[in-house]
Structure 1
Amino acid sequence: MSLNYSNIFPADRTATITTALENTFGNAVISEATLLTGGLSAASVYKIVADNRPYVMKLDIPHAYTSADPFEKIARASAAGIAPPLHYKNEEAGIIISEFVENKPIRSIFSGETLAVKLAEAVKKIHTIPYAVPGGDLQETIDHLLAGFHHNNILSGPVPDECLKQYEKIKTSYPWHDTDKVFSHNDLNPSNILCDGKVVWIIDWDTAFVNDRYLDLASVANFFIYSPDQEAAFLKTYFSEVNDYHISRFYVMRQISRIIYAVMMLQLAAQAKPADYAHDQQMEGVFLKDVGPLLGSGALSLATYEGQFMYGKALMNEAVQQMCTGRFEDALVLLRHRN
């Protein structure tokens, strides 16, 4: 050990952190300890370099969990080979140390149908992890989000109105109470999907619990699957034998996922402004095909109000466009008939 931790880690955690590092690395030289994230949530994440090899240390609230313990979830995901290898876990101290992944943007490594296959394999691996703790009811969660969105009046007009109208159709058609549930990550956005050049790794398991398998599939697809050929490869890899019900339910869930992320982005953006702030209500011309490249190039950031608000608008526009198609209506009919 060679660093003075007093200026790096919280003072009341230094002793348990020192013990964790000693138990994990022995007499290895700790040359770096850098805060990667922290401040807004209960957990802080650090990059630790021991004998010139990087690791990740996550500090969570000690003694904070009973059921749905994130320490148990990450241990199971690591054992399944989908979360980075785990080196230390102490629930009482609230400390996890795992392998650091030198991330290469997955789109720079894989493309087209190969990317679709790799992502479907990753989702399938998540869904085979044995776990029994359920989360909140998905329909109730969405209803709560939409109620908050409506109450705060962040965005109004024809597009939000149409979005809510179309969602009412989904509510009466989607098989919310299907008992075929799996261990789901529930937040498979690009920042939680890492690639070391060969292997796909999934991080940030705090919101994982038993849920509808189509939520993870839809979340991944909305960020990475753009063509019919990609969609076909994605579903074929996951289901092996694909039928019209799989395709229809997947398509409807893609719109549900867009609504969820749109509302969350808009709510997050609103938190950055005073309650009486006059948000720009213009929806015309704000589409994913335009906003996506801006986010990818760094010209627009999801860490800013502007990025969050524009992305929320684009997601809602996309959901409404898709929900006003014949394919969407046909999918709802099939789901209603099947149910």
Structure 2
Amino acid sequence: MTAYAPLPADRRPAIEHALSTAFGTADLDGVVRLTGGLSGAGIFRIRVGGVAYLLRIEGARDVFRDPHRGYACLRIAAEACLSPRVWFADPVEGIAVLDFVAEQPFTEDRSARLTELAQSVRILHQTPGFPPLMDYLDGLLAVTAPFRPLPVLAQVFARMDETLAAYRALPADVVSSHNDLNPRNVLFDGRRQWLVDWESAFACDRYVDLAALANLWTGDETEVAQMLGVYFNRPPTGAERARLSLMRRLNHVFYGAMFLGGVLAEQPHALPRDLEAPDVRTLHRRMAEGAFALDPVAGRLTYAKAQFAAALQDY
């Protein structure tokens, strides 16, 4: 079976078992490795019987990359028609086979896309409970701890600590949450959008997903209000708007830390000397236009600085 050549040889028995269980055959018509994601998983487009599917092979495991939890969330999301159909998912082997989504350019206006996303998140938050993992705020402290000694971020972390204290005083509001609704994790197939990559999903505060929509998908505060109105199916209350504002600040710090961590893993001396960068929404617009890319280290450092700078804003 030369079609297996691009796949890791040591995983072939487990892959053959997955395909035989899902489709009654382990014969492959073709395999193409896909790139573009930031997770450590191997992602492949495979063809079985002439039909395209997605094969996911998990990489290293840690507290976040746990297929037992991630696949449980994936199955719940697929049953709610939010994620592509699951044909096979074995958390022990770390192998999943899903329907393949052939991504297409989004042809409708921004309002239509944001409306659909807000509706999808509302449905997600109403699904049966995802497995728990940790308190999101405790997780944020752990993720950002390595960067606290950086003088350039002193003001950011002082503001974050104030925000954390205010947020901890609020009542718990835990739902089934994706927790990483960045544009790479939302695919459009020409008719509808799909939420993908559930390795960071767990039972979490609902405003984590809402903050991601506000910070990563909206172009201005009018669109934020639109998103909240669709999500709640009514105008948001003052308390709901205030709670979102707090979580938006924390969300900016989270993405700043994640991208800075990725930069330093490749170039340990690429420390930010300032937070001078285009604002986050400008960078998102330039990415959509193909004028800014996250793949180069310099692009990711600029994006991290923009996220940290945004955490100092008021909404």
**1:103-114, aligned counterparts within 5 Å?**
103-105=103-105, 108-114=106-112
The answer to whether residue 84 in structure 2 is matched with residue 95 in structure 1 is no
Determine if contact 1:3/1:31 at 8 Å carries over to the other structure: no
The answer to whether residue 283 in structure 2 is matched with residue 291 in structure 1 is yes
Residue in 1 that maps onto 2:257: 263
In structure 2, relative to structure 1, the CA distance for the partners of 1:32 and 1:141 (3 Å cut) is same
Q: Which whole-Å CA distance do the structure 1 matches of 2:220 and 2:73 have between them?
A: 33
Determine if contact 2:259/2:300 at 8 Å carries over to the other structure: yes
Larger Rg: 1
Moved more, 201-210 or 132-141: 132-141
Moved more, 226-235 or 210-219: 226-235
1:184 maps to amino acid: S
1:222-275 Cα offsets, whole Å, 9 max, x none, are 11112333222211111123211111111221111111101211121122113x
Match of 1:168 among 161, 164, 188: 161
In structure 2, relative to structure 1, the CA distance for the partners of 1:319 and 1:84 (3 Å cut) is same
Q: Which whole-Å CA distance do the structure 2 matches of 1:120 and 1:227 have between them?
A: 16
Per the TM alignment, residue 211 of structure 1 is displaced from its structure 2 partner at its CA by 0.4
In structure 2, relative to structure 1, the CA distance for the partners of 1:172 and 1:78 (3 Å cut) is same
Q: Which whole-Å CA distance do the structure 2 matches of 1:135 and 1:225 have between them?
A: 28
1:262 maps to amino acid: G
3-state SS of paired residue (1:97): strand
The answer to whether residue 185 in structure 2 is matched with residue 185 in structure 1 is no
Residue in 2 that maps onto 1:199: 192
Moved more, 295-304 or 95-104: 295-304
3-state SS of paired residue (1:179): coil
3-state SS of paired residue (1:96): strand
Residue in 1 that maps onto 2:69: 69
Determine if contact 2:28/2:49 at 8 Å carries over to the other structure: yes
In structure 2, relative to structure 1, the CA distance for the partners of 1:3 and 1:24 (3 Å cut) is farther
In structure 2, relative to structure 1, the CA distance for the partners of 1:62 and 1:319 (3 Å cut) is closer
Residue in 2 that maps onto 1:308: 300
1:270-292 Cα offsets, whole Å, 9 max, x none, are 22113xx2645243353225433
2:154 maps to amino acid: D
The answer to whether residue 247 in structure 2 is matched with residue 248 in structure 1 is no
Q: Which whole-Å CA distance do the structure 1 matches of 2:243 and 2:170 have between them?
A: 13
1:120 maps to amino acid: A
Q: Which whole-Å CA distance do the structure 1 matches of 2:284 and 2:66 have between them?
A: 39
Q: Which whole-Å CA distance do the structure 2 matches of 1:134 and 1:178 have between them?
A: 17
Question: How well do the aligned residues superpose, as a CA RMSD in angstroms?
Answer: 2.8
Per the TM alignment, residue 200 of structure 1 is displaced from its structure 2 partner at its CA by 1.4
Identity within the alignment, %: 28
**1:117-156, aligned counterparts within 5 Å?**
117-151=115-149, 153=150, 156=151
